[in-house]
Chains A and B, each alone.
Chain A
Amino acid sequence: MFNLNTFVQLIADGLAQGSIYAALALAIVIVNQTTGLINFAQGGMAVLAAYLGMTASNLLIPVVGSFAGIIGGILFAVGASFALGAALERFVMRRFMGGDPDTAVVATIGLLTLITGLCGLIWTYNYIPYPFFFPSGASFMVGGIAISVWSLTTFLTILAMMLVLQLLFRGTKLGLGLRAISINSRSAALSGIRVGGLLMVGWGLAAALGAIAGVLVAAKVQLVPDMFDAYLVYALAAVIIGGLDSPFGTVIAAWGIAVMENLAAAYLPFVGHDLKIAVPFVALFLVLILKPEGLFGRKVVVRV
């Protein structure tokens, strides 16, 4: 019945899956911290990035070989995403800043529809394989337990990304500026910080992070325009459960959700693989009822 081998695999896959949720959730938190918005198009932008990476890789591989081609494709996806995120902030979202936040949110919904539609229009709604270093089913054995190569790669990549972001936010002047904006953008502007430029950087960083998540997901499940819709739900659940103002809490929540849903799908027969998306939803409700500011969030006190 209970099989340690399966159990460890479930945990490992859960942590990898959770890293994807965490990457998307962190992207959402970065945008939320700098602009106060929830970007519902974050998943759509990640998918677009993966499509761009796929196209670039397929163009490069015949010329420079498969390894360099794949690397080039990923770099292109990340760079293009950064530019796209910054451009969307400047030319679309800036218009709605300072106004009704609900209008801005609807604008991101419009962006999601537009970007998903563009992917469908350009690359069709059929599944397209992503050229990657190893096949999606590859695994290796550690002490008799099979660990998926994809899971390990994903976990380590996202972990490295988080460390880089942490260094950026804590150790550089750019990060200092971003943190200043997130605490009080008006005071930040008064002390000479170029808020507009940094908002673009914030959106760009979030989009770049999303791009990496997009490529990793595409490497496992192949590309389709709506492949991130479900991921968006997981990421938003992680954001709420962890607390909107706590990147650390968000990552922990993302891992927790993913491990939990994997275990529930395997060991609770009435959940099964098809209903595991309900797991974060139930967890979300419990957290909202018991501790609405999130497990790691601070209570927001508003001065009137």
Chain B
Amino acid sequence: MAALTRLLESSWTRVVIGVAIGVVLVLLPLSSPAFTNQTITRIAVFAVAVLGLNIIMGYAGQVMLGQIFFVGVGAYAAAITVRSDWGAALGFWGVVAAFVLAVLVPGVMGLLVALAAARLRGLAIAMVTIALPIVGVPVAKRLSDITGGSQGISARVFGAPEWTGLDNDQWQYYVVMTIAAVVFALAFFLVRGKYGRAFAIVKENEAVAASMGISPYRYKVLAFTIAAMFGGVAGFLYIAAIQFTSPETLSFGHSIELVIATIVGGAGSIVGSILGGIYYVLVPQLTNAVNPNATAVVQGVIVLVVLFVLPGGLASLPRAIRRLVRRKRGPDVAGPAATERRTPEGITPGAGDALPPRENEERQNR
């Protein structure tokens, strides 16, 4: 058992596992049915959206409830560009333009929203962003000249080129997975670098951040804008994979589901974002198959249970299991377990994924 744990903890094992998963993901679509490919593609699409949400919620610690709005805006921007005369005339570069616009338009909108919302301390970002999808749906319906109104619009971003000999679903899979992988790599380096550390201290204590010369306001706006841009990328991928968008895409319910997926996957964890994407796509499929009316109840129960027993989300499951195993083996094992400080709830403070308790200064000093 101990040998197994040590084996799992070594970085080489992780590299090997990572490469193995990568090889499987590259080879899989060649042999699997179209439905599997499409499902995995959809998971990648929403994993990117969850990743963006994770930057602002998990890393910068600001609850954001409107991510689906930016996904929807990105999807509309991409679809409208691809369908427009100039977009079609440009051919491949039209698709590139669609991608750039799908990132820029939500990015600018995110920046503007954040500049206003981050001015109020505390939960203002949550309170303002919850309005985005609720305002966004009627606006998308109203601008029917460009958005197609309630009917929505369909757009074929790209099909498989002749020379590849691939089916459309396989080509979409490869393109979406490649873009998603690049975005995940960017996020990985972002949260481990200077900006990631700045986000962490803003999340931990804004006063300390300010005293270190890190403006909480500026970094909140930055994290929010990055989240919105990732949402836009997810929107582009959404159009590439699903080829259709309508006001329903950016509905309030979907927005809440994205937040739930982020928490269930694991806030503040890159792997958690992938798990969140898997959760977002698969769990509603499962519950819809059983009873469509029960989907919301199941989602609500799952997120509350996760918050109660596993605040770090699914991504923290291995660590939680390891801690349980250590505790069971008792104090005779001198090791990290003995030195770990524990809060009464059994959450290890500062353990990366676990949400550390924070003083609620606003209330106590009123």
Contacts and interface: CB of A to CB of B under 8 A. Distances in A.
B296 interface: yes
Given A98-B360, A101-B360, A103-B355, A293 B120 contact: yes
Given A183-B366, A275-B142, A302-B207, A230 B128 contact: no
A284 B364 CA distance: 27
Interface residues of B, number: 59
B307 to A, nearest CB: 5
Given A117-B294, A120-B296, A289-B119, A40 B307 contact: no
B225 interface: no
B281 interface: no
B301 to A, nearest CB: 6
Interface string B124-156: 101110110011001101100000000000000
Contacts of A292: 119-120, 124
Interface of A is mostly: helix
Given A289-B119, A293-B120, A302-B361, A116 B296 contact: yes
B259 interface: yes
Interface in B269-304: 293-301, 303-304
Interface in A244-261: 245
A106 interface: yes
A40 B362 CA distance: 19
B29 interface: no
B363 interface: yes
A30 to B, nearest CB: 14
Nearest to B358: A100
Given A115-B300, A117-B296, A98 B357 contact: yes
Interface in B311-366: 311, 355-358, 360-366
A206 to B, nearest CB: 16
A109 B299 contact: no
B80 interface: no
A110 B361 contact: no
A167 interface: no
Contact of B131 (A96, A233, A301): A233
Interface stretch (B56-64, B71-79, B161-169): B56-64
Interface in B236-278: 252-253, 256-257, 259-260, 263
Interface stretch (A134-142, A145-153, A234-242): A234-242
Nearest to A41: B300
A236 B127 contact: yes
A51 to B, nearest CB: 14
B28 interface: no
A166 interface: no
A223 interface: no
Interface in A86-119: 92, 95-96, 98-103, 105-107, 109-118
5 contacts: A102-B355, A236-B128, A289-B119, A303-B365, A304-B211
